[in-house]
Structure 1
Amino acid sequence: MSTVVWPPIPADQLLKEQESCQQRELEWLLSALQETLQSLKAGLEECADLLAPRDVGSTLVLSSLRSECLKGFVTRVGTRVVKGDIHLRLPSLPPPRGQNSYRLSISTAPTAPTLLLEQLTSVRTLINSCLDVVDATRWTGDANNANFISGQLRLLHDNIQEAKAALKGDPETQTPWNEDPVDDKVFDPPLPANVSFHLSIHEAALVLSVRTVEAVQGHSTGTSTPNSFTGPSYSGFSIRDRLAAALGGNRPPPHDEVNEIFSFKGSEVRVKEKVRVESQDPSLMAAMAKLGALEHSVALSRRALDVVMDKEDDA
């Protein structure tokens, strides 16, 4: 905003004109933000619709890369996984007699526990909170109170950022696999005691991690180094890795948690085998992209309001 006036006017009059101009600009911006809020609400409702339960749901194929150790599918309806059929080929999980793979099937019985995706529950809760903030800002607050609008935009921005972080799978938004094990009765037949089945969201993709565990024997040193791993497993590794090991080369570790010990279902365990697969979910990808655009829009609105309110240095 220019402060040069010609012909020159007294300094006190110039100050009054500046204040009057800034006030008019603030009034215009507050009025324009009402339209922005209406647009933000439409975008948030689209995100909510993408995460809402639908009769058909999203069926996602799960397949391990360059191996046959995990094949199957799961069906997501809203924040719940309602169907699933997973076939495992792991040396540490022998299949029943007469079968060539171990099958994990999510129970469809009415009395079976629900398999929830906690990250998606958080995202839906945060989006609903954003919609409440928009409605409160438009209908119950003082639309001409710049401080009120600024505070509401900050709250809206924070909620959108948290929702986006949950879809990206930031570490603080996820519960470690060993701290919140799935109820065994989610599956029919029940999940074996030595198997961990963990679903999470990462970069808007559904991630399934299956682990077989064994109790740590003689672990009394208090360190995090488990006993030596016996019975090498090459599941998930390419033929090149197997050939290199057979010719005397360095064998790659069977998985990235081989040197760690975890507390799982009240016992100290180590992970014998681990397989991790991802499946892109189009609805989640669209929701994360929309949240990113909404985050940018709110950030621009906050910045514009801070400038007019002389709050350029505010975080």
Structure 2
Amino acid sequence: MSTAVWPPIPPDQLLQEEAASQTRELEWLLGELQETLQALKAGLEECAALLAPSEFGATLVLSTVKSETLKGFITREGTRIVKGDVKLRVPSLPPPRGSATYDLTISTLPSSPTLTVPQLVSARTLINTCLDIIDVSTWTGDAMNANFISGQLRLLHDNLQEARHNLKGSPDVIPEWNETSVLPNIFTPPLPANVAFHLYVSDAAILVEIRTLEPAPEEPQSGFSLRGTLAAALGSSRVPLHDEVHRTFEYRHQKVCVKEKVRVESQDPSLISAMAKLSALEHTVSRGRLALSIVMDDVD
């Protein structure tokens, strides 16, 4: 876009006027960004509150669709799961005598380990980091220094994005089940050695995966058992029971196969709200960064 000045002024004076105009525009924008930062702080405090422990916690129902394989609930308080009772019906985990289900109950004893959700811990830490960045941008650093504010907005955007990824459950933040399964003594009675309980966040929902395990064959034939190979040769079209049926995993220093796998999802309204707010805040910061880059003539 070109500009014209009438009556015409000398080129040197025109350059001075353009520079002065850009300086005034930059000062105005930096002032507006301070107001934006305060609005962002209020939004981040709302997100932090959604991930903070509440008086009664959030009780989430767990249930497999169209089956009685798994029924139960968990209670989330902030970044921790403080209660939980799951009733499981799978052939590879027979229930105790006199019971119709195998019950997995999270221990409430003070001596029991705490069941934390690493993605929620990370998201909450990143949100607190964002709040610190805003405080530094407002009170400690030079609020009218464009380069300083540009760097602070970049840090803010990166931390917001990472916090949202933790609630979204991006592939790089979801832990592998065989590396981060819940400790057996978190439950009462403790989990059997052949059961792995995995809990994580995906699309702002709590997902629970329970696997029953068996030792891996010493010499697997290209990942398939001898029974599976014979079945294929005979033309069997049996559908695998789960997506890990032909895989071998290293679990607690042993090679194992997954015999049965149950996966359930429970929507968490607080996490859904927090992720939506983080997305909106991230968009606001992106707009502020773009506006500042344009005025600073720093657009790639």
Give the TM-score normalised by the residue count of structure 2.
0.95
Gaps of 5+ in 1: 231-247
Q: What is the deviation of 1:226?
A: 4.4
Give CA-to-partner distance per residue, 1:22-80, whole Å, 9 cap, x none: 00000000011110010000000000000000120000000011211111000000000
Residue identity opposite 2:93 in structure 1: L
Give the aligned partner of residue 113 of structure 1. 113
- In 1, Cα distance between equivalents of 2:215 and 2:11: 81
Give the aligned partner of residue 53 of structure 1. 53
Give the aligned partner of residue 101 of structure 2. 101
**Cα contact 2:181–2:199 (8 A) shared by 1:** no
Q: What is the deviation of 1:217?
A: 2.4
- In 2, Cα distance between equivalents of 1:140 and 1:108: 44
Q: What is the deviation of 1:183?
A: 1.1
Give the aligned partner of residue 212 of structure 1. 212
Over the matched positions of the two proteins, sequence identity in percent amounts to 61
SS of the residue corresponding to residue 273 of structure 1 reads strand
- In 2, Cα distance between equivalents of 1:174 and 1:105: 24
Give the aligned partner of residue 227 of structure 1. 225
- In 1, Cα distance between equivalents of 2:197 and 2:247: 18
**Cα contact 1:3–1:18 (8 A) shared by 2:** no
Give the aligned partner of residue 232 of structure 2. none
Give the aligned partner of residue 8 of structure 1. 8
Written as runs of structure 1 = structure 2, the 5 A alignment for 1:232-251 is 250-251=237-238
Q: What is the deviation of 1:227?
A: 2.3
Give the aligned partner of residue 194 of structure 2. 194
- In 2, Cα distance between equivalents of 1:219 and 1:124: 45
SS of the residue corresponding to residue 178 of structure 2 reads coil
Indicate how the Cα distance of structure 1 residues 213 and 174 shifts in structure 2: closer, same or farther if over 3 A, else same.
Answer: same
Give the aligned partner of residue 181 of structure 2. 181
**Cα contact 1:210–1:275 (8 A) shared by 2:** yes
Determine if the alignment matches structure 1 residue 262 to structure 2 residue 260.
no
Give the TM-score normalised by the residue count of structure 1.
0.90
**Cα contact 1:219–1:226 (8 A) shared by 2:** no
Indicate how the Cα distance of structure 1 residues 9 and 212 shifts in structure 2: closer, same or farther if over 3 A, else same.
Answer: same
Q: What is the deviation of 1:165?
A: 0.2
- Aligned equivalent of 1:306, options 275, 293, 299: 293
- In 2, Cα distance between equivalents of 1:22 and 1:252: 67
Q: What is the deviation of 1:283?
A: 0.2
**Cα contact 1:226–1:261 (8 A) shared by 2:** no
Give CA-to-partner distance per residue, 1:191-212, whole Å, 9 cap, x none: 0100010000000000000001
Indicate how the Cα distance of structure 1 residues 21 and 167 shifts in structure 2: closer, same or farther if over 3 A, else same.
Answer: same
**Cα contact 1:53–1:77 (8 A) shared by 2:** yes
**Cα contact 1:216–1:226 (8 A) shared by 2:** no
Residue identity opposite 1:306 in structure 2: S
Considering only aligned residues, what root-mean-square deviation do their CA atoms show, in Å? 1.5
Count of matched residue positions in the alignment of Structure 1 and Structure 2: 294
Determine if the alignment matches structure 1 residue 65 to structure 2 residue 56.
no
Could you list the runs of 4 or more consecutive aligned residues of structure 1 that deviate by over 6 angstroms after TM superposition? none
